[in-house]
Amino acid sequence: MEFWVIGSVLVIYFLIMIPIQYNNIAVTKKELKESGLTHNETYEEMSFEQQQLQLNLQGNLFNLPATLIAQFIYFLRHRGNKEVK
């Protein structure tokens, strides 16, 4: 019984986090494209608060499945566009 409750909560959490992660990925890619800076230079110019938000969104192990799915969706939607890597 506990397995189903915990599993259901995790699935709901992942489903809620997918659009949040997708938006974060899209905004980050857009900032990289507009600024013309590298990934590391962009993070160096961020404020401490923004860096911590990025770390918590992307570095949390519980967000990994949602991040992978959001990254895959972003890739599918933007595969024809030239992107900054």
pLDDT tens column, 26-80:
998 898 888 888 888 888 888 898 888 888 888 888 899 999 999 999 999 988 7
H-only helix segments in 1-85: 2-35, 39-45, 48-59, 64-77
Asked whether residue 84 carries a pLDDT value surpassing 60, the answer given is no
DSSP category for residue 62: G
Rounded distance between C-alpha atoms, residue 7 and residue 81, angstroms: 37
Amino acid present at 15: L
User: Is residue 5 within 8 Å of residue 53, measured between CB atoms?
Assistant: no
- From 68, 53, 51, select the one nearest 17 (Cα to Cα): 68
Reduced to 3 states (helix: H, G, I; strand: E, B; else coil), residue 37 is coil
Full-model pTM: 0.80
